[in-house]
Structure 1
Amino acid sequence: MTQIPDIEAFEERAAIAEYDGGLSRSEAENLAARGQGFADAQAYWQWLADYVVNRRLP
């Protein structure tokens, strides 16, 4: 993935899916992650963690 994730958009989409869509937080985060091209929320958060630790794009 070369595009930098949009954290604000991720959080907003997950919140809307959770509260308005009735999804669990986990399901909502997975939906938001897929919306940014990730397989799931775990892959999204791992990408961000790798970026912070390495201080460069993966």
Structure 2
Amino acid sequence: MRDPIPDIDAFEERAAIVEYDGGLSRSRAEDVAAQAQGFHDADHYWQVLADYVVTRRLK
């Protein structure tokens, strides 16, 4: 199965909203933002984004 396409603008916006409005830590807010895009957690999101920047393609 192919990883979803990371959307950095949506990720940052969602994480900020969840952190501020939801009172979550930044780390937990990033997990929520990543999951909203179909990733397992923020670590998975950042790894896919980094791989895409280096290889210019998704796995």
Q: Does TM, normalized by the shorter one, top 0.5? A: yes
TM-score, normalising length: structure 1: 0.90
CA shift for structure 1 position 44 = 0.1
- Given residue 33 of structure 1, which amino acid in structure 2 is its aligned partner? A
CA shift for structure 1 position 2 = 4.4
May I ask how many residue pairs the two structures share in their alignment? 58
Unaligned 5+ residue runs, structure 1?
none
Deviations 1:33-55 (A, max 9, x none): 00000000000000000111112
**CA RMSD after TM alignment:** 1.1
TM-score, normalising length: structure 2: 0.89
Q: Percent identity?
A: 72
CA shift for structure 1 position 3 = 3.2
2:11 corresponds to which residue?
Answer: 10
- Given residue 21 of structure 1, which amino acid in structure 2 is its aligned partner? G
1:42 corresponds to which residue?
Answer: 43
